[in-house]
Amino acid sequence: MGPPVHAAAGRSEGTPAVTGTVDGGVPVGGTAAVAEDPHRWTPRLVTILIVLILVSEIIPVSAVLAGTALPTISAEYATTQAGWTMTIAFLTASIAMPLVGKLADMYGKKRLLMVVLAITVVGSLLSAVASSFPMFLLGRALQGAIFSVAFLCYSLIRDVFPEKIVPFAVSVTVTGTGIVVVLQPFLAGWLIDNHGVSGAFWFVTVLTAVLAGAALLMVPESPVRSSDSRPDLMGALLLGSSVAAVLVAVSSAPQWGWTSAGTLGLLAVGCALFAAWIVQAGHAPEPLVDLRKLRRPALLYTVLASGLVYGVGTTTSSILAIMAMTPREAGGDYGFGMTASEFAIFGVINGIGIVGGGLIVGLTVRRHGAKVHMVAAAVAIAVGALTMGLGRGDELLVLTATALAHLGVGLAGAAIPNLVIAAVPPDHQVVSASLTEVSRTLMAGIGTTVVFVVLNANIQAMAGGRPVYEGIGFQWAYALIATCAVLGGLAATRLPGRTGEPSTA
């Protein structure tokens, strides 16, 4: 997935209480700068920025490792439910991010950053030593907390850096160094091929622990506090439980039967909890997700497009590793028999596509508006996904198609914050951005579950505990992703013709 919208840091719409700068002074221009020359970079600022960039890069590193490892996870735990490796992390992320944002405003962004990193270390350790698939998934659920570090890092930069260098610092943190895009797929492949699933997650454990130590030592705490911010724990429980119940029912239905008591019972419980959440969200003073904001049509269509285009669009890579690493003699009309290391070329192409899409938006959004980019993203993802499904036996064609699809993901990810800025007034942008963030992470989890349901309905054999899918399963799975992209694109066409000024980050 692309970087989360940094505005989703969870700041309440009330005015935050500012307690002063790190050196005891008063913030200038709304930015609580560290005690440095406000007009130039210093070694301390550079060091802080490097640490925050590296902490933010834990998100794509762990995501690429998990996605590339899906075939190995499926074989190692002899399960057809490997898709939950991604789903459960997305699900916990979508619930955790609004809560972390609120708690960060109340207790300090660095403090919550350290809590999130500690939870991620524990989760990665559990996945590394897991002796069973449920234990592995528990670790992955805890690792979903890592998605919150993106907006925590952006917010720390905004609060503690000198105001004049904040835009550049945030932009660098969003895009990363560029080196990671090229190196992380090869790192993931090497780890998985040579050290297996356990080795991959031991790497994430050590990496996160080391960077947590660096952040503890080098990153100052933000002095900005919001005294009236209240986390919606009941809303988180209701929404998380409802979605989890429905997804477990849907993913288990091929084994249990769609009309079995277990499937129907879980679906009923999930729907009841979801209805209770809607009622609760309508009455809570500060709901987890403020559904009342969706009365504004521009924001409603932005949230729909974010989930259907970007969120579901990211699932193309979740099943690509399985398709590419299956031997042709097993797959029949698909499969390139790649090792995880050989699959790295797909990861590099995907990363370049995402970065390229972001650059296109940054260079042209003032002239064309973000609506055009979101519609273009929907078309690119739809065409790319359909081509991947129909041309699944041609490696070059699949490589080209995944590049196009991930160009679309990059376009959509960069368009979202600009669409939010145009859809709502400035004092509503934080809450509105959190809506799009929940939409796209939640839809990524739902999309992953559903495409694996489609695949699991088309298992032709089990080989070494790992399912071998029929080619038609991939065709239908990618067609489903394309359909969601088209629906999201149609929602985007309902947005205003020009979408205002672009985001500065």
The pTM for the full model equals 0.83
23 confidence band (pLDDT: 50, 70, 90):
very low
Token pair belonging to 11: 């700041």
Q: CA-to-CA distance for 185 and 61, rounded, in angstroms?
A: 8
pLDDT digits 0-9 by tens, 129-183: 999 999 999 999 999 999 988 888 888 888 888 877 777 777 667 666 556 667 8
C-alpha distances in angstroms, 11 versus 19, 102, 106, 394?
Answer: 16, 6, 9, 48
Comparison of pLDDT for 180 and 440, the residue scoring more: 440
What is the distance between the alpha carbons of residues 283 and 236, in angstroms, rounded to a whole number? 14
Render pLDDT for 357-371 as a digit per residue (tens, 0 to 9).
Answer: 888 888 888 788 889
What is the reported pLDDT for 339? 94
> Which residues face 459 on adjacent strands?
469
Q: How far apart are CA 413 and CA 75, in angstroms?
A: 33
* CATH number of 1-8+38-231, picked from 3.30.1360.120, 1.20.1250.20, 3.40.1190.10, 3.40.30.10: 1.20.1250.20
- For 437-490, what is the HEC assignment? HHHHHHHHHHHHHHHHHHHHCCEEEEECCEEEECHHHHHHHHHHHHHHHHHHHH
Q: In angstroms, rounded to a whole number, what is the distance separating the alpha carbons of residues 243 and 248?
A: 9
C-alpha to C-alpha distances, 139 to 59, 134, 239, nearest whole angstrom: 15, 9, 21
Helix 370-390 and helix 471-493: axis angle, to 10°? Answer: 170
Alpha carbons 24 and 17: distance in angstroms, whole number: 15
Distance CA 282, CA 238 (A): 13
The H-or-E segment that residue 385 falls in is: helix 370-390
**Quick one: pLDDT at residue 429?**
63
C-alpha gyration radius of the chain = 22
β-strand 466-469 against 459-463: which pairing, if any?
A: antiparallel
* Closest C-alpha to 58, from 219, 187, 194: 187
Which CATH number is 290-505 given? 1.20.1250.20
Query: For 269-313, what is each residue's pLDDT tens digit?
Result: 999 999 999 999 888 888 888 888 888 898 899 999 999 999 999
Neighbours of 30 (CB within 10 A): 12
Is the predicted pLDDT of residue 346 greater than 70, yes or no? yes
Do 389 and 476 form a contact (C-beta atoms < 8 A)? yes
**Rounded CA separation 280/282 (Å):** 5
In 3D space, the residue among 85, 32, 134 whose CA is nearest the CA of residue 322 turns out to be 85
Contacts of 311 by beta carbon, 8 Å cutoff, 6+ apart: 439, 440, 441, 442, 443, 444, 446, 447
- pLDDT of 16: 38
pLDDT of 13 reads: 37
Residue 437: HSE in the Cβ half-sphere, 13 Å Cα cutoff: 32
Q: What is the distance, to the nearest Å, from the Cα of residue 191 to the centroid of all Cα atoms in its chain?
A: 22
> CA–CA separation, 309 vs 378, rounded Å?
6
Most confident range, picked from 197-211, 221-235, 240-254? 197-211
The mean pLDDT value of the chain amounts to 85
Q: What would the pLDDT profile of 427-436 be if each residue is shown by its tens digit?
A: 666 667 778 8
What is the 8-class DSSP label of residue 50? H
pLDDT mean over 325-329: 91
Using the predicted structure, report yes or no on whether residue 499 has a pLDDT greater than 70.
no
Question: What are the helix (H) ranges across 178-337?
Answer: 179-218, 233-256, 261-283, 297-305, 312-313, 316-325, 328-331
